[in-house]
Chain A
């Protein structure tokens, strides 16, 4: 496969590196969606840990979130929420560090 790429590049024929493009799409898809999911779960956990802070201080534009902001069995969820949030935010922080590693050439 890589041999073909070299040949095609050398021949200067119109050539699209589909495998590189596919890799970019796949890797960014996995990272892009996973981080958002993790971070959202972290926020949910934090919200549990705080005991559903439905204080209404949020901006009106977040009305979409209103419907769900009802308190449940709050106390039981608190330790679970804190743990969940901790784990999720830690992984997200790791992803940021990895991002910095990719951006800064001195690291590799």
Chain B
């Protein structure tokens, strides 16, 4: 009984994380297409959501480690510790971080939030031996610093080339052509996202089921897990995190269709190359870098460095803040059922508060392109302090 309640709560939390993951990352693929009018806002998120769902199904090989070796997954399945509670706490940290950054309209990596939450929870429950800090550096910090520059440089040169080459082309041909191209590369980003990120949640749920003895060690995800995870991320994507879409499509720079095409193509190239060559980069950071590069590639285009700076700051805080929340939740949740209920209740309250807060200055499919700022009255620090 003790385990069963936790198990149910963890699976629900994992699906909630998956939902926020899709919700948060719609912008990566679709923000520029929405900003340039290549796709209508609702159509864009629907395409993205569908491709996420499709991606979840075509990718059958679940990642061997849920954290990519950043925390010691073997320690989570150890009978001496309550691995389920740790995973629960990690997910809570990630969900809350995702929602706070969504509220203030900033893109940030969902994977880093999950890693952060897990690191915090493992740290307080297992100790520092459970965290591989060298991997934190080589797999999170370094790629986070480098990927925006790599993607940005490619998008910058691509943008410059696109404008230079088509300078003498008819402008309707050019505008239409780049919009079509942009739609195709954005769709590829969405599909790749579905194969990667939905898999992560399947891996988490499957690991929890294994730890609790509901399926044999080393077995793959059950069909209902694949279906649930695919639907959660697809649904999250189709609802669309309009606040983040506005920041990425309008906030960083004003995007025109040649820039949108160059940015999406750069993102696609970097993401596919990194996935294929085994040096995984964050989708969010690659796509943000591409958009900035595309902004710089057009002469006299304005890049709003204050928004870019705020975004970089959010990336810097993703891991530590999610880790802090994960640590607190992990400490509490590993005390037993009461602790789990308290963590769940506090998290649900915070989620409710954030959603209510977002209603004060809502961003929807209707007004996403109307402004470039996402306004919130209260700073996010109050919600974090309460967490």
Residues of A within 8 A of B (CB): 12-17, 20-21, 23-25, 27-29, 31-33, 35-37, 39-44, 46-48, 50, 52-59, 61-62, 64-70, 72, 92, 96, 99-100, 102-106
> In whole angstroms, how far apart are the Cα atoms of A29 and B181 in the complex?
18
Chain B residues near A14: list those with CB within 8 A. Answer: 134, 137-138
Instruction: Say yes or no: B58 contacts A40, CB within 8 Å.
Output: no
Do A100 and B188 form a contact, CB below 8 Å, given A14-B138, A65-B171?
yes
CA A32 – CA B171 in complex, angstroms?
23
Q: Report the minimum CB–CB distance from B184 to chain A (whole Å).
A: 6
Given that A12-B132, A27-B273 are known contacts, is A43 also in contact with B265, CB under 8 Å in the complex? Answer: no
The DSSP consensus for interface residues of chain B is helix
Known: A25-B150, A66-B171. A13 touches B134 (CB 8 A): yes
Question: B276 on the interface (CB 8 Å rule)?
Answer: yes
Is B359 part of the binding interface, using a Cβ–Cβ cutoff of 8 Å?
Answer: no
Contact of A103 among B162, B181, B195, B256 (CB under 8 A): B195
For the complex, is B214 an interface residue (Cβ under 8 Å from A)?
Answer: no
Enumerate B139-185 residues with CB–CB distance to A below 8 Å.
142-143, 146, 150-151, 153-155, 157-159, 161-163, 165-175, 177-178, 181, 184
Whether B60 pairs with A105 at a CB distance below 8 angstroms is: yes
The 5 closest A-B pairs by CB, nearest first: A32-B269, A36-B158, A47-B169, A68-B167, A40-B165
Q: What is the CB-to-nearest-CB distance from A17 to chain B, in angstroms, rounded to a whole number?
A: 6
Quick check: B173 and A32 within 8 Å, CB to CB? no
Residue pair B165, A55 in contact (C-beta under 8 Å): no
Q: Mark B242-282, 1 if CB is under 8 A from A, else 0.
A: 00000000000010111001100110111011111111010
Contact, CB under 8 Å: B138 / A69: no
- Chain B residue at minimum C-beta to C-beta distance from A58: B171
* A-B residue pairs in contact (CB < 8 Å), sample of 15: A14-B137, A20-B278, A23-B277, A28-B150, A32-B266, A32-B269, A36-B265, A46-B169, A46-B177, A53-B170, A69-B169, A96-B188, A102-B276, A104-B195, A105-B60
> What are the residues of chain A within 8 A of B309 when measuring CB–CB?
none
Contact B59 A105 (CB under 8 A): yes
Q: Known: A105-B60, A105-B195. Contact between A40 and B269, CB under 8 A?
A: no
Q: A36-B265, A46-B177 are in contact. Are A96 and B184 (CB under 8 A)?
A: yes
CB of B37 within 8 A of chain A?
A: yes
Q: Which of B58, B167, B265 contacts A32 (CB 8 A)?
A: B265
B61 within 8 A of A: yes
B170 adjacent to A37 (CB under 8 Å):
no
Chain B contacts for A29, CB-based, 8 A? 150, 153-154, 269
Q: Please tell me if B330 contacts chain A, counting CB pairs below 8 Å.
A: no
Which residues does chain A contribute within 8 Å of B200, judged by CB atoms? none
CB B58 to nearest CB in A, in angstroms, measures 5
B residues 210-264 with Cβ under 8 Å of A?
A: 254, 256-258, 261-262
Which listed residue, A20, A23, A92, A103, touches B192 by the CB 8 Å rule? A103
* Interface residue ranges of B5-63 to A (CB < 8 Å): 37, 55, 58-61
Complex CA–CA separation, A20 to B275 (angstroms): 11
